[in-house]
Structure 1
Amino acid sequence: MTLYGYFRSSTSYRTRIAMNLKGLDYNDITINLAQDEQLESAFKAINPQGLVPVLQADDLLLYQSPAILEWLEEVYPEHALLPKDAAGRMQVRALSAMIGCDIHPINNRRILQYLRNELSVNEEDVIAWCNRWISEGFAALETRLAADNNRGQFCYGNSPTLADCYLIPQVSSARRFKVDLSAYPNIVAIDTHCRTLEAFADADPMMQPDAPKSL
């Protein structure tokens, strides 16, 4: 398999985590978002949306990280990232969607570039925008996590799930945008624990071949 992605792309990051947790080998092809390579015709021939990640598995091209992660779960069920019961699967998918649908999309690079370049929003206000929506989303997520008395060291249960694949990249993004995480002790504890696991550590943006030596 080949993963087209970018070191700091949260959606690429969550896909790397899931593939690592399942013990899957894959090749990396960098699509440099900072240089707008995702808009070039060569990549748009692969994904007309011009978005990463794209996963190529033999002749099959998969796009949109939620669909990729669900495909991985169906095709490679070992080291399951969804619970066996329907209620548990719903819970994990709901936690994932809180991040993947309601936090990440309004803070991703396309939105921020539009704010900066088209609406002439200054950088201080761009950071304030990110802080507002990440903090609001994290407050709701923290409440959900705190209410789950059966939860271990992960978002759900005692083993990593898709929800953790979504959460850890979003925490990285929150730190990059200077969000105060002190109000979210459960989120911080999950992030701290997950980063001790090889699958998460190896997926970290700064461990990727296209990561700069310093930021």
Structure 2
Amino acid sequence: MMASRSGDKNQLKLYSYYSSSCAYRVRTALNLKGLKYEYKAVDLLKGEQFSPEFTELNPIGYVPVLVDGEFIVSDSFAIIMYLEEKYPQHPLLPQDLQKRGINYQAANIVSSSIQPFQNIATLKYIEEKVGPGEDLSWAKHHITKGFAALEKFLKGHAGRYATGDEVFLADLFLAPQMHISIKGFNVDMTQFPLLSRLNEEYNKIPAFQDAKSENQPDNPLASAV
């Protein structure tokens, strides 16, 4: 059930799946804060998220889950907020309250209005109830709707990154969403010039690069090399 990057028992443990955009957010946060962690792979396609071992950690059966000593926290937003409070290095939220609000809103557009419509359980349900191929059109519809909103919303706030010239919370949610939208759902990003420019910037940052699905130990292509 797990692939590991380290055997240090004192390190943080992250239960992750290589292509999960939610886990990608947390991997990026850990990288930006310079925190070492043990990578524990949960194969969602094999249903390992429903095993007694995993549901003991997260009863709803979703990744990611972070284990910090005796403390267990799941849901990417909650994990990132926990990391922000406990490990203050490289702040993921700006000091300015209004700018924080902008970051919360952009992150929530991704986490509430896009990602739930493309997760494995949702797509499987749509395919079974509606028909083969309908799952992809369903996902692309909600992705493009969310991206259109983000393109408009961030127009007055973006700098080099989503909310200015520093990497913050919004960027941690945008980068994985664009990555999976391009690689997994073939979304045409030319209709979103601002988001496309941001994606180019994220691709230059090692913390984002290292967190990508293709660089995880449980990626089948990575293990085959």
The number of residues matched between the two structures is 211
* RMSD value, Cα: 1.3
Aligned to 1:113: 124
What CA distance in whole angstroms lies between the structure 1 residues aligned with 2:52 and 2:161?
Answer: 40
Deviation larger for 52-61 or 106-115: 106-115
Amino acid at match of 2:105: A
What CA distance in whole angstroms lies between the structure 1 residues aligned with 2:143 and 2:77?
Answer: 19
Aligned to 1:6: 17
Q: Report the CA distance between 1:212 and its aligned residue.
A: 1.4
Paired residue for 1:168, among 175, 179, 190?
175
Report 1:112-191 matches (<5 A): 112-117=123-128, 119-123=129-133, 125-148=134-157, 151-175=158-182, 176-191=184-199
Aligned to 2:51: 40
CA contact (8 A) 2:140 2:185 kept: yes
What CA distance in whole angstroms lies between the structure 2 residues aligned with 1:128 and 1:70?
Answer: 33
Q: TM-score, normalized by length of structure 2?
A: 0.91
What CA distance in whole angstroms lies between the structure 1 residues aligned with 2:163 and 2:131?
Answer: 38
Give unmatched runs, 5+ long, in structure 1.
none
Structure 1 segments of 4 or more deviating over 4 A? none
SS of alignment partner, residue 94 of structure 1: helix
What CA distance in whole angstroms lies between the structure 2 residues aligned with 1:27 and 1:4?
Answer: 9
CA contact (8 A) 2:160 2:198 kept: yes
Amino acid at match of 2:88: P
What CA distance in whole angstroms lies between the structure 2 residues aligned with 1:40 and 1:180?
Answer: 37
Aligned to 1:210: 218
Deviations along 1:26-82, whole A, 9 cap, x unmatched? 000000001110011111111111110000000000111111111111111110111
Give unmatched runs, 5+ long, in structure 2.
1-11
Counting aligned pairs with the same residue, the percent is 35
Q: Report the CA distance between 1:22 and its aligned residue.
A: 0.7
Q: Report the CA distance between 1:205 and its aligned residue.
A: 0.4
